[in-house]
């Protein structure tokens, strides 16, 4: 577990990058048992179609570039693709958009991943305070992050009881308990992700910040859809 993560972090540091690429961040998540969608990184539309069939439709396509942090802003994320034809068109569209918006950007490929069904979006994060050390964060995710700013924090390492407290003390907890005909979400699935994030940020002091947003939680299971990590500079 630690060895796989250390190998990724050494590569990033050797390249003098502060921010991990999304597939790098997701591989680190997987090493610590944090669920992500099935994904592959491809370099051509032919590879994209093959990868889409492997991970299973519907799929999402995202650019992979150290020069592009906000992929949606430059038209380099395409959602809800249900056929090989749509994947080819989306790959071509992303390629055109990146050349138009950032012609000098370094492109390492396109990430293909299985699109997740609708659920409740939350954010799980880790940070490293200069005075207090590593900490874990939880709150409602997606667009609700900026709207409500409803978070809980604890210093790491975090134990199971503390993780449950973090989930239940946010004002939006009633959303997680079920509303408008929806059942309650898998709270223990969130607890396991919080505990894994706690272990990860304690084990690897090189990591300055991590942001798993959105993490989509269902009545059974939770999956990290987007993962960002940055290293100490």
Q: State whether 106 and 124 are in the same domain.
A: no
Q: Say if pTM beats, i.e. exceeds, 0.75.
A: yes
Residues of the chain with pLDDT > 90, as a percent, come to 86
pLDDT at 233 over 80: no
Q: State whether 18 and 39 are in the same domain.
A: yes
Q: State whether 142 and 217 are in the same domain.
A: yes
Q: State whether 18 and 100 are in the same domain.
A: yes
Strand positions, DSSP E, the chain:
39-42, 59-64, 77-81, 109-114, 120-129, 133-140, 151-155, 207-217, 222-224, 227-231
CATH number of 124's domain: 3.30.470.20
Number of domains in the chain: 2
Encoded tokens for 156: 């790491």
Model pLDDT for residues 42-79, shown as the tens digit of each residue: 999 999 999 999 999 999 999 999 999 889 999 999 99
Cβ–Cβ under 8 Å, residues 137 and 159? no
120: β partners: 217
Residue with tokens 């993780």: 163
Q: Domain range holding 196?
A: 120-231
CATH number of 32's domain: 3.30.1490.20
Domain end: 97, 114, 131, which one? 114
Domain end: 73, 89, 114, which one? 114
Domain end: 84, 114, 144, which one? 114
Q: State whether 85 and 173 are in the same domain.
A: no
């Amino acid at each position: 577990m630690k060895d796989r993560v250390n190998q990724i972090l050494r590569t990033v540091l050797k390249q003098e990058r502060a921010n991990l690429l999304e597939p790098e961040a997701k591989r680190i998540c997987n090493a610590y048992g944090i669920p992500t969608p099935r994904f592959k990184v491809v370099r051509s539309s032919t590879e994209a179609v093959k990868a889409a069939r492997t991970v299973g439709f519907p799929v999402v396509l995202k650019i992979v570039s150290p020069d592009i942090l906000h992929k949606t802003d430059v038209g380099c994320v395409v959602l809800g693709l249900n056929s090989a034809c749509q994947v080819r068109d989306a790959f071509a569209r992303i390629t055109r958009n990146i050349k138009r918006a950032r012609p000098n950007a370094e492109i390492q490929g396109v990430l293909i991943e299985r699109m997740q069904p609708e659920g409740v979006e939350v954010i799980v994060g880790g940070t490293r305070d200069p005075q207090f050390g590593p900490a874990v964060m939880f709150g409602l995710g997606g667009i609700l992050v900026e709207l409500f700013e409803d978070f809980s924090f604890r210093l790491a390492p975090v134990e199971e009881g503390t993780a449950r407290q973090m989930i239940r003390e946010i004002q939006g907890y009633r959303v997680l308990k079920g509303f408008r005909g929806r059942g309650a979400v898998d709270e223990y699935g969130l607890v396991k992700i919080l505990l894994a994030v706690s272990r990860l940020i304690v084990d690897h002091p090189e990591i300055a910040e991590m942001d798993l947003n959105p993490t989509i939680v269902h009545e059974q299971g939770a999956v990290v859809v987007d993962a960002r990590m940055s290293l100490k500079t």
